[in-house]
Amino acid sequence: MTGKIVLLTGAGISAESGLGTFRDKDGLWTQYDLNDVATPEGFHRNPDLVLSFYNARRKNAAQASPNAAHFALAKLAQEHPAEVVIVTQNVDSLHERAGSTNVLHMHGHLAGALCHACQTRWDAPEIMTKSDACPSCGAKSTRPDIVWFGEIPYYMDEIWEHLATADLFVAIGTSGEVYPAADFVQIAAQAGAHTVEINLEPSARVSDFAETCFGPASEVVPNWVTSELER
Ligand code: OAD
C-alpha cells in the first residue's frame, strides 16, 4: 500500500474547467506581461491594471466548475488510508469546491484581499478597487492575496515537511517552469518518494520523474486515482 501522497497541482488541472493556463498557446502570459500584472513593482506602477486583471480572473473562477480531475483527487483523499495533501499553485477554489480539504495554496487565493501596508487579510470583494480601505489600518493599498514574482510563496515550511515525508509525489498540470514548485519533484525523490508526472505533454522537469502519464487531466487523473485506490 502507498503511504502518504503529496500532490502538486498547476493551471493544467483547471484548464478543462475553462480557466486559462499561463504558458500554453493563448495562455495568460502570452496576453499580458507578467511584470505588469504579477509583481509588486507592476502594482506600484499601475494598480488599476493589476486590480482589473485579478477582478476578471476572480469572476472567471467564480463562474467555473470543478472537473473530473478535481473530484477524483477529493475521492482519493477520502478513500486513501494514509494522508493526502494537495499543494496547489492555483488561485481558484476548484479543489475545495470538489470536496478537498487538505489544500495548501502556495501562490495565494483570488478569494482573499491583503493590505499591502500592514499585511491584514480579509475576504476579497467581487470587484476590488484602489479606493478600498484596509479594515485594520485604513490604508488604501488593498491588493489580491496572490503571491507575485519576487515574493515568497506561502506555507513553505509545511510544504518542505510534507515533501520530506511523502511516499508518493504526483505533479499534475504544471509546466515545471516556476520555482520553488519546479524543484519539489527532486526534493521528494531525494527523500525516497516515488514520483509521477501527469500532464498534457512532457513538462520542463519530465526527466526528474520516475513515471509519467500524458493526456487531459479530466481523463488521466480519474483513471490514475482508480488504479491507485486499487493498489
Ligand atoms: P503553466 O501555464 O505554466 O503550465 C500549465 C501546464 O498544464 C502545461 O504544462 C500544459 O501542458 C498543462 N496542461 C494544459 N492543459 C491541460 C489539461 N487539460 N490536462 C493536463 N495538463 C494540461 O501553469 P503552472 O505550471 O500552473 O504563478 O504555472 C505555475 C505558475 O506560473 C502559476 O501558479 C502562476 C504562473 O506565473 C503566479 O502567478 C505567481
Predicted model pTM: 0.97
Report the mean per-residue pLDDT for the chain. 96
> Which pLDDT does position 231 carry in this prediction?
85
User: Is any ligand 1 atom within 6 A of the Cβ of residue 215?
Assistant: no
User: 20-63+110-146 has which fold?
Assistant: SIR2/SIRT2 'Small Domain' (3.30.1600)
CB 94 within 8 Å of CB 147? no
Q: pLDDT digit string (tens) for 124-155?
A: 999 999 899 999 999 999 999 999 999 999 99
> Which pLDDT does position 24 carry in this prediction?
87
User: CA-CA distance, 143 to 51, in Å (whole number)?
Assistant: 7
Q: C-alpha distances in angstroms, 105 versus 50, 138, 151, 166?
A: 20, 27, 14, 18
**3-state secondary structure string across 108-154:** EEEEEEEECCCCCEEECCCCCCCCCCCCCCCCCCEEEEECCCCCCCC
**Burial class for 86, CB neighbours closer than 10 Å (0-12, 13-18, 19+):** buried
User: CA-CA distance, 170 to 223, in Å (whole number)?
Assistant: 14
User: Is any ligand 1 atom within 6 A of the Cβ of residue 11?
Assistant: yes
Is pLDDT at 1 greater than 70 in this prediction?
no
User: Is any ligand 1 atom within 6 A of the Cβ of residue 16?
Assistant: yes
* Nearest atom (ligand 1) to Cα of 149: 39
CB 141 within 8 Å of CB 116? yes
Is residue 26 left, alpha or beta, with left meaning phi > 0 and alpha meaning psi from -120 to 50? left
Active site residue 44: no
- Rounded to the nearest angstrom, the distance between the alpha carbon of 15 and the centre of ligand 1 is 8
Is pLDDT at 180 greater than 80 in this prediction?
yes
Q: pLDDT digit string (tens) for 36-64?
A: 999 999 999 999 999 999 999 999 999 99
User: Is any ligand 1 atom within 6 A of the Cβ of residue 21?
Assistant: yes
What's the whole-number mean pLDDT along residues 217-227? Answer: 98
> Which pLDDT does position 25 carry in this prediction?
84
Is pLDDT at 190 greater than 90 in this prediction?
yes
Instruction: Identify the CATH number of the domain defined by range 1-18+66-107+153-231.
Output: 3.40.50.1220
User: Is any ligand 1 atom within 6 A of the Cβ of residue 170?
Assistant: no
- Rounded to the nearest angstrom, the distance between the alpha carbon of 14 and the centre of ligand 1 is 9
Centroid of chain to Cα 129: 24
Domain boundaries in the chain? 1-18+66-107+153-231, 20-63+110-146
Q: What type of residue is 53?
A: F
Q: pLDDT digit string (tens) for 4-23?
A: 999 999 999 999 999 989 99
* Catalytic residue from among 80, 95, 105, 107: 107
* Nearest atom (ligand 1) to Cα of 203: 9
Q: Which of the listed residues 17, 23, 212 should we mutate to test ligand 1's pocket, taking the one with most ligand atoms within 8 A of CB?
A: 23
- Residues 6 or more apart in contact with residue 113 via CB below 8 angstroms: 121, 122, 123, 124, 125, 128, 132, 142, 143, 144, 145
What's the whole-number mean pLDDT along residues 173-193? Answer: 97
Q: C-alpha distances in angstroms, 112 versus 99, 188, 213?
A: 19, 30, 34
Is pLDDT at 75 greater than 70 in this prediction?
yes
Residue % of the chain over a pLDDT of 90: 94
What's the whole-number mean pLDDT along residues 105-131? Answer: 96
